[in-house]
């Protein structure tokens, strides 16, 4: 009683199994890239956003994010504004761009309405037409 290994005809059989090792390697590299870039995409100015059930805003590269902290300080992306004149000069520079960038206001839930109103008024005085408020969905 013998066992036959291989074929007598000398033909090589085609292996029809899919090699998934390269796919797994690519997926692991993509996972690492996403894990590294996610902290960069978040803003570092800590504010507690108000809760709202609205549509999500699509953030684009040229959008300007104005964060307002609970004590009323205004931040241009991640740069603090010294006073209202400093904010107005920054707004005047972007108001002349075509198309105008979108202004997104991230006001802390505990900030006084007066501080947010001053920022909106400064945007209107500069001639900014598109102002959005960023909120969080309630839990």
- pLDDT tens digits, 34-54: 888 776 666 567 777 777 666
By CB neighbour count within 10 A (0-12 exposed, 13-18 middle, 19+ buried), where does 68 fall? Answer: buried
DSSP character for 24?
A: H
- Segment 51-76 mean pLDDT: 79
For 81-92, write each residue's pLDDT tens digit: 989 899 999 999
DSSP strand pairing (131-133 vs 74-76): unpaired
Question: b/e per residue, 77-107, with b = 16+ CB within 10 A?
Answer: eeeebeeeeebbebbeebbeeeebebbbbbb
- 5-19: per-residue pLDDT in tens? 655 555 666 767 788
CATH level 2 (architecture), domain 64-133: 2-Layer Sandwich (3.30)
DSSP conformational letter for 51? B
Average pLDDT, the chain: 82
Is 0.85 surpassed by the pTM of this model?
no
CB atoms within 10 A of CB 35: 9
């Amino acid at each position: 009683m013998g066992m036959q290994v291989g074929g007598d005809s000398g033909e090589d059989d085609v292996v029809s199994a899919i090699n998934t090792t390269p796919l797994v390697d690519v997926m692991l590299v993509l996972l690492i890239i996403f894990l590294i870039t996610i902290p960069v995409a978040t803003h570092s100015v800590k504010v507690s956003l108000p809760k709202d059930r609205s549509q999500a805003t699509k953030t684009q590269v040229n959008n300007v994010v104005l964060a307002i902290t609970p004590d009323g300080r205004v931040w241009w992306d991640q740069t603090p504004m010294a006073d209202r004149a400093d904010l107005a000069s920054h707004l005047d520079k972007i108001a002349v761009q075509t198309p105008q960038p979108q202004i997104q206001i991230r006001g802390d839930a505990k900030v006084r309405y007066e501080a947010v109103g001053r920022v909106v008024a400064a945007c209107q005085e500069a001639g900014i037409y598109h102002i959005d408020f960023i909120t969080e969905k309630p839990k």
